[in-house]
Amino acid sequence: MSYRIQASPSPHHDGSDLYVSNAAPKIGESIVLRVRIPNSYTFAKALVRLYHDGEPRTFELKKKKSNDHESWWEVSVVVLNKSLSYRFVFIDQGKYNWLNAAGLFDYDVHSNNDFQIVAISAYPAWIKSSVFYQIFPDRFAKSGDKQKFPEWAHPRDWNELPRGRSKFTGTELYGGDLKGVQQHLDYISELGVNGIYFTPFFEARSNHRYDASSFENVDPVLGGNKAMFSLISAAKKRKIRLLGDLTSNHCGAGHPWLAKAIKDKKSKERGYFYWDKSVKHGYVGWWGLASLPKLNFNSSSLRKVMYEGKNSIVKKWLSPKYGMSGWRIDVGNMTGRLGEDDLHNEVMRGIRIAMDEVKPDAWLVAENGDFVASDLDGFGWHGAMNYQGFMRPLWNWINQNLSIGGGFQGLPFEMPKISGKSLVASMVQFSSSIPWRSLVASMVLLDSHDTARMRTVVSGDRKAHLSAMAAMLTYPGVPSIFAGDEIGLEGSWGEDSRRTINWEDRSGWDHDFLAEVKKLIELRRTQDGLIDGGLRWVAVEDNFICYLRESNKQSLLVFISRKAVRTEIDLGEYGLKVVNTLYGPVATGGSIKIDSDGATQGIWEVKS
């Protein structure tokens, strides 16, 4: 079946540079807000509605320029508060339409989905052209140096599969180390990524190291601080930044803080934890686990040692001596919360302030497994791991393996199968409730060490996997590739996905897929439309989506399908023509024809 899509534009605004003159203004500064309006959409008057000191006010937009297909309208407004919330309204005889971050509505709407400007410094500029590579240190590469494994470990041969859900989960140790990572920096550079996100590297009693026994030192099994310093230096020469992983919610049962707190009830460390005589171990563990004692931020001493103090954990590793470029915060949504206590916002913003003090261009991204919009209001985390607004809906749209189940999505039933319209609606639900700056500073990912791998989600379908990869590398945010995804590694759940990479025998690698991933990474890092562009949906059908990424310098059209399609996208009403094929089917002129035998992807440069 073949059909033609006559793409029809509608009034559009987002937080990108095309539409907002300054997304990080100072209080008292005037900024210009612009709206792009197709000529097919008529109205008598356009207004912006915003808040000044909590009171709604309106200002009229004026037409600034137009052509045969569209006109641009704008208004200058003064930013009086740290957070500016606004939406547009178009009125005419019998017409009353609101435009907010969720879309265009012909009925009254509330402020929860208003566009948002935050009057503080923006996210670090370098993340806009970054692609990260997530490394689980025990499973990426081993140097061959002689290692002494700790008593808790159950050593495994490098190319054995994890035993998965068993008594060995968390204690199987393969011996990957930081020197092994350094030895493969050329591979990482050739892949095209310029950032590495490490899951925890602190000393611990598990292979995942989310149970830190120390926040002061790198695990000796990984090579210790010396190996980390060497890696940071070598990575810096290749212009690769390193992102650490911090458990602000808990530490490990082997941490000296806990030992001292148990030994001396009058110690300051006693206040670092919650105590409960009704449990066997006497303290509150995260999800009841004795191995993960929950941290109590009612303690001012804990706040100082964790993030406020001059030599705090947060600040130390970002300092010039240690050289990390930011933090990923584990279970950020639970940090500071327990029962009646809700210190979450204070801790979150405290970590942000600490980072701004010691390294203003450091990136702060949180694991918010179940998203809460207020966490991304611009004053705490720069962004979150975008599970809810990207990965989950993409899985639900593109999956071919329902046996994986709801799993990481927190659902006690099989993964649903949704249409393209539901996919986009789910993405918009997420993006419309937060400032644009928080969307583009969020980590966009297909999978992670906590989930099944995408190759398994699509039941080994390389073309569908490539569509997912293309979507991730063209969608707003900071892409993060879980090490091994680029060569087609599989895995059905978190521990199963933490497989090693066979460096000695690469015959099992998907080299064709790797070559395509390299091309897409290069585009993501070099094309201005993907670096600074906004997001306009052009066509959304059951089996494919099509969107524009437009900046002041470049406009790109992206097409992603989940299966074979025969269609034609007519750009006539947009007044756009393809001038260059960057990836996928070659196209020219004002329409794009797709005739594929499987999932397909395309990226084209377009101009009016």
pLDDT for the residue numbered 401: 87
Q: What is the mean pLDDT of the chain?
A: 95
**What would the mean pLDDT of 369-398 be, rounded to a whole number?**
92
Measured between its terminal Cα atoms, the distance across the chain in Å is 30
Per-residue pLDDT tens digits for 28-51: 999 999 999 999 999 999 999 999
CA distances from 232 to 238, 347, 478 (A): 10, 28, 21
**What would the mean pLDDT of 565-585 be, rounded to a whole number?**
96
Question: How far is residue 607 CA from its own chain's centroid?
Answer: 29
Identify the domain boundary among 118, 149, 173.
Answer: 118
Instruction: Examine the pLDDT at 246 and tell me if it is beyond 80.
Output: yes
**What would the mean pLDDT of 253-264 be, rounded to a whole number?**
98
Interhelix angle for 462-474 vs 511-526, to 10°?
A: 10
Is the CA virtual torsion 130, 131, 133, 134 positive or negative? positive
pLDDT for the residue numbered 164: 76
Question: How far is residue 325 CA from its own chain's centroid?
Answer: 16
Per-residue pLDDT tens digits for 544-558: 999 999 999 999 999
Question: In what side-by-side order are the strands of the sheet with 591-595?
Answer: 3-6, 566-570, 591-595
| CATH of residue 69 | 2.60.40.10
Per-residue pLDDT tens digits for 154-189: 999 999 999 877 888 899 999 999 999 999 999 999
Examine residue 193 and state whether it is found in any structural domain, yes or no.
no
Instruction: Examine the pLDDT at 580 and tell me if it is beyond 80.
Output: yes
Give the strand pairing for 544-550 and 555-561.
antiparallel
| CATH of residue 257 | 3.90.400.10
**What would the mean pLDDT of 118-131 be, rounded to a whole number?**
96
pLDDT for the residue numbered 3: 64
**What would the mean pLDDT of 353-367 be, rounded to a whole number?**
97
Find the domain containing 566 and state its range: 533-607
**What would the mean pLDDT of 312-318 be, rounded to a whole number?**
98
pLDDT for the residue numbered 410: 62
Instruction: Examine the pLDDT at 289 and tell me if it is beyond 60.
Output: yes
Examine residue 72 and state whether it is found in any structural domain, yes or no.
yes
Per-residue pLDDT tens digits for 508-559: 999 999 999 999 999 999 999 999 999 999 999 999 999 999 999 999 999 9
Identify the domain boundary among 259, 292, 325.
Answer: 292
Percent of the chain surpassing pLDDT 90: 92
Examine residue 474 and state whether it is found in any structural domain, yes or no.
no
Kindly indicate the confidence band of residue 415, based on its pLDDT and cuts at 50, 70 and 90. confident
Identify the domain boundary among 118, 142, 171.
Answer: 118
Examine residue 359 and state whether it is found in any structural domain, yes or no.
no
Q: Which long-range contacts (CB under 8 A, 24 or more apart) does 65-71 make?
A: 66/39, 67/575, 67/608, 68/39, 68/575, 69/38, 69/39, 69/573, 69/574, 69/575, 69/608, 70/9, 70/36, 70/37, 70/38, 70/39, 70/575, 71/36, 71/37, 71/39
Examine residue 19 and state whether it is found in any structural domain, yes or no.
no
pLDDT for the residue numbered 6: 72
Instruction: Examine the pLDDT at 256 and tell me if it is beyond 90.
Output: yes
33, 48 in Cβ contact below 8 A? yes
Between CA 285 and CA 274 the distance in angstroms is 8
pLDDT for the residue numbered 452: 93
pLDDT for the residue numbered 406: 57
Kindly indicate the confidence band of residue 369, based on its pLDDT and cuts at 50, 70 and 90. low
| CATH of residue 562 | 2.60.40.1180
Instruction: Examine the pLDDT at 348 and tell me if it is beyond 90.
Output: yes
Query: DSSP letter at 286?
Result: G
Examine residue 38 and state whether it is found in any structural domain, yes or no.
yes
Of 556 and 417, more confident: 556
Examine residue 344 and state whether it is found in any structural domain, yes or no.
no
Between CA 119 and CA 121 the distance in angstroms is 7
Task: Specify which residues 385 forms β-bridges with.
Answer: 443
Examine residue 73 and state whether it is found in any structural domain, yes or no.
yes
pLDDT for the residue numbered 407: 54
Give the strand pairing for 241-246 and 195-198.
parallel
pLDDT for the residue numbered 371: 74
Percent of the chain surpassing pLDDT 70: 98
- pTM, two decimal places: 0.96
Number of folded domains that form the chain: 3
Polymer length of the chain? 608
